[in-house]
Amino acid sequence: MEATTKPPISIYTESNPNPNSLKFVVNFLLLPEGVSRDFPDKESAKEAPLASELFDFPYVKRVFYMSNFVTVTKAEDVEWAEVKGEVQNFIKSFLEADKQILTEKEVEEDHKVQETDTDIEAKIKGVLDEYIRPAVEMDGGAITFDSFEDGKVKVLLQGACSGCPSSTITLKAGIENLLKRMVPEVTAVEAEGV
C-alpha cells in the first residue's frame, strides 16, 4: 500500500478595501463551507491555535478564518511590505506541520436558516447568502445576520470588514439598499463589529 502524499501547500495574498487587512489564501479548504471564525484579540482565540500564535506578532490586531483563507489585520503603524512575508511563511509552516487551526468540538455554520426564524428573517438570510456574502468574502470578510426588529436589520461584519474605512459606505449604499429593495419590511441596516 502506497503512502499518500499531500500536495504542497501554497499561499498567495489578496488585498481588500481595508488597507490594514490582507487575505492569505491557501490551496485547500480550512473550514467547511458556510463557517467562519473572527478573533478580535488573543483572548478570543483560545480554541484557535493558528490565530492565537499569530497574535504573538506584536503588529497582529485581528485574525479571521473562512473557507480557504485567513485574513490578518495589522496595526496601522506597520506596513505590509515589512511583515507580509513573515506572516505568510508562519501560516505556511503552521499548516505544513499539520496542526489544527481550530480545536472546537463541533464546527457549525454561522448563518443557516433556523426553524425558529420568521419568514422575514429567512428572506433576509437568503438575500445575505445569495447576493451579499460572496462579495464580502471576496474582500476577506464575512457578514452574519444578527437580528431583525422594528424594520431594522442588525448584521455582524467580521474579518477585513472590521475597521475598514469603506465598510460604512458598503453597508448603507450596498447592503441596506439591496435588502430594502428585496425585503420591503426592512427599513434600515446596522452593523456590529465595525
Quick: pLDDT tens for 111-153: 555 667 788 888 888 888 777 777 777 777 777 788 889 999 8
d(Cα 133, Cα 161) in Å, to the nearest integer? Answer: 12
Instruction: State what percent of residues in the chain have pLDDT above 70.
Output: 82
Q: Are residues 16 and 92 in the same domain?
A: yes
Q: Is 82 helix (H, G, I), strand (E, B) or coil?
A: helix
- Number of domains observed in the structure of the chain: 2
Give the structural domain span for 71.
11-96
Q: Smallest Cα–Cα separation from 136: which of 117, 115, 114, 111?
A: 111
Contact predicate 52/65, CB 8 Å = no
> Helices in the chain by DSSP H: which ranges?
49-54, 80-96, 119-127, 133-138, 167-169, 177-182
Q: Is the residue at 133 inside a domain?
A: yes
What does pTM read for this prediction? 0.68
Residue type, 138: M
